[in-house]
Structure formats: C-alpha cells, structure tokens
Amino acid sequence: MSTLRIFGCLIGIMGLFTTFLVYRGARWNKSNFILLAMLNLSLITITINPNILNVLRDALSLQTAYRGRIIALLIVSNIFLLFYILFTKLRLDRIHFQFDRLVRSLGSKEVQQNLALIKCIQPAMILIPAYNEEENLKVLLPMIPRQIEGIPIGVLVVDDGSDDDSFSFAAEMNGICVVKNIINRGGGAALRLGYDILQRAGVRYCITMDADGQHRPEDIKKLLLPIIENRYDCVIGSRILGGREQSSWLRITGVYFFGRIVSILLGKKITDPSSGFRAFRMEAMASIQLHEDQYHTSELIIEAVKKGLRIDEVPITILKRGYGKSKKGKDLAYGFHFARIIIKTWWR
C-alpha cells in the first residue's frame, strides 16, 4: 500500500472517530452524523481497495486517462460538494427569512402599542434608516418639510442598532417617529421594518432617504408630486439627471455602468439604480417582495419594473456626506456586491 493510501486511510479513521466524538450526547444530529460517517467510510474503503473506483472511471470514459481513477473521484466529489453547498445555502436562506420575519413582526407591532408612534404617523411619511448618524440627523431632521401640496408629512427613523445616540436624539424631536433594531442588520432590513410599520398604519405615500445628509429635503417635493398626481407608482431621484457635489470617479463610473446593465435587463432606461432617494405609493408597492439586507437599492427598482409598476426618474442633487464615514465600504467591493444583487434579483 502506497504512502498516499496509508495517509488517506488514517485521515478516514480519524475523521470517523472525530465525527463520533462531536455528535454524541447533547450534540447528536442524525443527518450530519450519517453524512460525515459515510464520507469517512468511503475514504477508508477507497484507500483499502482503489479498484472500486474503476466503475466510476469507466462510467466517465476515463479508462485511458492518466490517473483516471483520481480524476473521476475529483469530479464526483466536486459535484457532491456543489450540491452540499447549495443545500446549506437554502437552509441558511430559510433561517434568515424566518429571522427577518420575526424581527419585523416584533418591530411593526409598535404601531399598535406605542401611542406616540401612532400620533406622528401621517398620510405621507419620510422613511430614514440610520446607523450611527446622530450628527447628520441633527442637521437633516429639522429641515424636512411638514407638508407638501396640503398633505401632512411625517418622519419615521429606523435606528439600525446604532452605537451612538441616534435613537435618543430622534426620539426627543417633536413629531418624529422612531423605532430601533436591536442589532445592526443593514439598510435594506431597516427599510423592510419601516415598510411594515407604514403599511400597518395605512400610510399612502412613502419617501425613502439616507441619514447621511447627502439627500436634500428640498428635493422631496420633486419625488412626491408625480405620485400625488397619480402619474407614477414609483419615482427615483437620479444624480445622473441632476448633479452631485462630490464623488469618486470610480463610483460615478459604476453608477453609469450599472445603470446601463439594469436598463438592458429590464428594457427600461434607469440612469441611477443605486439611488436610495425615492417615493412611491404604498398600495402599489405592497406586491413587492424585498429580501436584501445590504446593497439593496437596485432590488426595489428591478422588482417594481418586473411587477409592471409605473416608474420614472427625476433630477436631484447629491451632496457630500456631512459627518462620519460611509458605511458602503470600498468602491470595488461595493461594485461586486451590487452586481451580485442585480443579477440575483433579476433572475428570481
């Protein structure tokens, strides 16, 4: 028996013994135990009698290939690994979905239990997810208009597990609704909680904007007016159609690039798919299913177009961040994850 086979046999025996130690007693898990035990027993069997692989080698027409049995084993093991990864991913997605529903359900019940929250709900609501944005909120919140075209405007801040006093400051302001995620889950998760609250409260119009001071309150009317006039179901603020104070060349190139990609995928021109400044009718958006916790801005646009909703863009001006650092991460990493969400959302 070669050194490689002896080594493989020892690995299999050690793996089998480790599996028994890990999953005995309180940690017993039948499916995991069977799976790992079968893998280790297969490794032991193959190292003792490699001729078992001949059937697999012949089935893959690798009789004449150099190291045909090893190649056949690698092919089958990689296929098995791929299916196992997909299976694990599905399980994790199911757990994530259940956790998301639990957190949103607990948070949205505040509409019924919190009298202060009920009183500040208006027919049109500004929804602001915030994570460690206390200084920016101090500037932004007092500037938000309290009515547009005779329609009262309210504000709901969803504190996404901030470490600073974002929640306390917003809660102390007159007429500001505020709820808090216990942990930081991402802007998309914070918005989903906000949507649930606004739907339970019977809000007609919603405007989402960032808490970092980059969105101008004076642009809110541009977004909301076409919705009030029932010309569109969703209106997106576009920095490409408008302007911007400051932006890295890489990020703005990415906005143009992804705008083109999204436009091709949807058959509708979208210039700024990364804009979080938008307005929509809550009734129209009720059919939209949102899942992404981060890099989520394109998800709503793609889903809305796929559902046949009326969408338009209006020019806005993006300001430079007031205080603190961006939570979006490095440009290249952000671009990679943004592309992943675009493809994932379009495909589902």
Enter the tokens of residue 114.
Answer: 């919190």
pLDDT digits (tens, 9 = 90+) for 113-157: 565 666 778 999 999 999 999 999 999 999 999 999 899 999 999
Q: Are residues 219 and 326 in the same domain?
A: yes
What is the distance between the alpha carbons of residues 56 and 51, in angstroms, rounded to a whole number? Answer: 10
End of a domain among 103, 136, 167? 103
From residue 244, alpha-carbon distances to 133, 139, 220, 275, 335 in Å are 21, 19, 16, 12, 19
Q: Are residues 201 and 293 in the same domain?
A: yes
Q: Are residues 218 and 309 in the same domain?
A: yes
Q: Are residues 86 and 128 in the same domain?
A: no
What is the distance between the alpha carbons of residues 62 and 43, in angstroms, rounded to a whole number? Answer: 21
Amino acid present at 201 = A
End of a domain among 69, 103, 137? 103
Q: Give the SS3 label for residue 151.
A: strand
Q: Are residues 10 and 75 in the same domain?
A: yes
Q: Are residues 65 and 155 in the same domain?
A: no
**DSSP, residue by residue, 109-132:** THHHH-HHHHHH--SEEEEEEESS
What is the distance between the alpha carbons of residues 197 and 2, in angstroms, rounded to a whole number? Answer: 66
Residue with tokens 């990679």: 336
Q: Are residues 240 and 220 in the same domain?
A: yes
Q: Are residues 338 and 296 in the same domain?
A: yes
What CATH number is given to the structural domain containing 176? 3.90.550.10
pLDDT digits (tens, 9 = 90+) for 154-196: 999 999 888 888 888 988 888 888 888 878 888 888 898 899 8
What is the distance between the alpha carbons of residues 201 and 114, in angstroms, rounded to a whole number? Answer: 12
Amino acid present at 255 = V
What total number of domains does the chain contain? Answer: 2
End of a domain among 47, 71, 103? 103
Q: Name which of 110, 186, 119, 105 is nearest 155 in CA terms.
A: 119
What is the distance between the alpha carbons of residues 166 and 144, in angstroms, rounded to a whole number? Answer: 17
Provide the residue count of the chain. 348
Cα dihedral 171, 177, 182, 187, rounded to 10, equals: -120
Q: Are residues 96 and 179 in the same domain?
A: no
Q: Are residues 268 and 304 in the same domain?
A: yes
From residue 336, alpha-carbon distances to 93, 263, 341 in Å are 20, 18, 9
Q: Are residues 67 and 114 in the same domain?
A: no
φ, ψ for residue 3, nearest 5 deg: -60, -40
Q: Are residues 90 and 126 in the same domain?
A: no
Residue 207 structural domain? 109-347
One digit per residue, the tens of pLDDT, for the chain of length 348 reads: 678 778 888 998 998 889 888 888 777 888 788 888 888 888 888 888 888 888 888 887 887 788 788 888 788 888 888 877 877 777 777 777 776 666 666 666 655 556 566 677 899 999 999 999 999 999 999 999 999 989 999 999 999 888 888 888 988 888 888 888 878 888 888 898 899 889 888 899 999 999 988 999 999 999 999 999 999 999 999 999 998 877 677 778 889 999 999 999 999 999 999 999 999 999 988 888 888 888 888 999 999 999 999 999 999 999 888 777 776 666 677 788 888 888 988 888
